[in-house]
Amino acid sequence: MPEASLPDLMREMVALPSVREVAVVSTCNRVEFVALADEPEAVEGFIKQRFGLTDEWMARHAYEYGGRDALTHLFRVTSALDSLVLGESQILGQVKNSLSMGLSSGATGTVIGRVFSHAIRTAKRVRTETAIAESAVSISYAAVELARKVFGRIDGRRVLVIGAGKMGALAAKQLVQAGAGQVDICNRSVERAQALAAELGGKAHGFEALAQLLEEADIVISSTGAAGFVVKAELVREVVVRRKYRPLFFIDIAVPRDIDPACDQLQNVYVFDIDDLEKVVDANLSTRRAEAIAGERIVSEEVAQMERWFAEHSVVPTIVELRNHFNATKESEVERILRAHPSLPPEQRELLHRFGNQLVAKLLHGPTVALRSSTASASDQQLMTATSRLFGLHDPGDAHPAGAASEGEQEG
Name the residues annotated as catalytic. Answer: 28
Q: How far is CA 100 from CA 34, 79, 83, 401, 403, in A?
A: 14, 18, 21, 21, 20
377 DSSP 8-state letter: S
Q: Which residues contact 398 (CB under 8 A, 6 or more apart)?
A: none
Pairing of strands 219-222, 159-162: parallel
DSSP 234-294: HHHHHHHHHTTT--EEEEE--SS-SB-GGGGGSTTEEEEEHHHHHHHHHHHHHHHHHHHHH
Helix or strand (DSSP H, E) at 162: strand 159-162
Contact criterion met (CB below 8 Å) for 2 and 27: no
Between CA 22 and CA 102 the distance in angstroms is 7
Q: How far is CA 128 from CA 142, 195, 204, 356, 371, in A?
A: 22, 39, 41, 51, 35
Side chain identity at residue 232, one-letter code: K
Between CA 64 and CA 73 the distance in angstroms is 10
Side chain identity at residue 188, one-letter code: R
